[in-house]
Structure 1
């Protein structure tokens, strides 16, 4: 029997500006099963990143309920990992020390865990490299390893590959799937790229424009590993694109390649 690790109920989020109140999210209801890989897509400004920040406990000014493992989210914690659009590494620390962060590598258990994560994210041989010596994809792998060090119940990823070139992005998608399949960490991944959403996810959550609400949830039953050129992949991609034909946002439709 599947277990819900994350439960979001009747979530509403508003921002107060000098002139008016802006409704960012409205009526979000979502249950995420333990070990699931969820991707979230939608028009710019529909509240995707805001949703991640609320789940992470970085924004508590909302209405509704957000529970992680049956406990209300009341702030940031080691049970929630967060990957930003940029790696945010400490430039004065090596790869292994960035992964360990505030924990000591002199601790045998920490050392073993860091070494295991370096192998998992394919950075063997770069343990003593500094961020300035890494490519964008390598730096994001360090950030992912650091987020996984404390074995979070959910890993939240806010367009982590958006700034990478197409080749590196495709490679990072493969690396992330390897990590997910190895650790079975529950992941919620925000992206603007529909191919990426289909390639990675068990389910795709599609948000409507502001105020952001769930337009539909598309299950992805394609077996792993997935090939983007296959008929089954392209068929599902078209199904997701068709959802955007019903959204009156021509800018997003153009960006999606419709």
Structure 2
């Protein structure tokens, strides 16, 4: 049996607030293999973003174990790329310079890799463009390319397409899959969109709220490219939807005190 790239064991996270402690994550156990594309989905407040921040090393105040490639995560680093909902580009830098960031394009190896990534994320011809000249989807592709240049062991994406219109979002899903299939970078992708989760994932981690915990993990054993209108796709979509309906029923029961 191969050792997982990411191991999360008995993870618990509690926030201290003025109204008292809030138990955000409870007993999260999850192993992710190298090269997997995992989507994480669940109702608002179930701890999806909190989980990503802990994996990224941005939040170290938790109980349990979180290890990447056998090493406990103790700080942020280039081995853990993070893509936010907003692209967060430097407005005074061009596309190619945003991707290179603190690395010099005068270095032939950096130049070669930047050029390869520009082609991979389908931005050829926009190398000299500034962020203000890009669409939202194009800007996110720059952010993804910048993260990939550092060759992260895992790429964490926190609802990166949430602010995009439906057409651009569908296009970005195709682009991301193309990047993943060519690069095989391990990815953990948070989303609220069930169709997006099924379209992208090898496995879907479904979280339930109060406290955030894993309700189920659904394997998506469908070949790529996937058609959202296919019967097999809709069967898995229905399975995930059914899990959501059961979560909502439990929420109603809890709130009514039954």
Instruction: Give the TM bin, normalised by the shorter chain.
Output: over 0.9
Is 1:6–1:66's contact at 8 Å kept on the other side of the alignment? yes
Q: Larger deviation: 1-10 or 217-226?
A: 1-10
Over residues 136-187 of structure 1, what are the superposed CA-to-partner deviations in whole Å (9 max), with x where a residue is unaligned?
0000000000010011000000000000000000000000000000010000
Q: Larger deviation: 31-40 or 242-251?
A: 242-251
Match of 1:66 in 2: 66
List aligned pairs for 1:236-251, cutoff 5 A: 236-248=236-248
Match of 1:42 in 2: 42
> 4+ runs of 1 displaced by more than 2 Å?
248-252
Over residues 10-59 of structure 1, what are the superposed CA-to-partner deviations in whole Å (9 max), with x where a residue is unaligned?
00001001121000000000000000000000010110000000000000
What secondary structure sits across from 1:52 in the alignment? helix
What secondary structure sits across from 2:196 in the alignment? helix
Match of 2:178 in 1: 178
> C-alpha displacement at 1:248, in angstroms?
2.8
CA distance in 2, matches of 1:239, 1:180: 25
CA distance in 2, matches of 1:108, 1:99: 15
Q: Does 1:52 align with 2:52?
A: yes
List aligned pairs for 1:121-136, cutoff 5 A: 121-136=121-136
Unaligned runs of at least 5 residues, structure 2: 253-258
Match of 1:194 in 2: 194
> C-alpha displacement at 1:210, in angstroms?
2.0
CA distance in 2, matches of 1:127, 1:249: 50
Match of 1:149 in 2: 149
CA distance in 1, matches of 2:45, 2:19: 18
Match of 1:12 in 2: 12
Q: Does 1:213 align with 2:205?
A: no
CA distance in 2, matches of 1:208, 1:19: 22
Pairwise CA RMSD:
1.3
Is 1:43–1:249's contact at 8 Å kept on the other side of the alignment? no
CA distance in 2, matches of 1:216, 1:53: 21
CA distance in 2, matches of 1:62, 1:46: 16
CA distance in 2, matches of 1:249, 1:84: 31
- Scaled by the length of structure 2, what TM-score is found? 0.96
Over residues 213-256 of structure 1, what are the superposed CA-to-partner deviations in whole Å (9 max), with x where a residue is unaligned?
0000000001000000111111110011011121136999xxxx
CA distance in 2, matches of 1:19, 1:197: 34
Match of 1:111 in 2: 111
> C-alpha displacement at 1:3, in angstroms?
3.7
Unaligned runs of at least 5 residues, structure 1: 253-258
Is 1:99–1:114's contact at 8 Å kept on the other side of the alignment? yes
- Scaled by the length of structure 1, what TM-score is found? 0.96
Is 1:2–1:34's contact at 8 Å kept on the other side of the alignment? no
Number of corresponding residues: 252
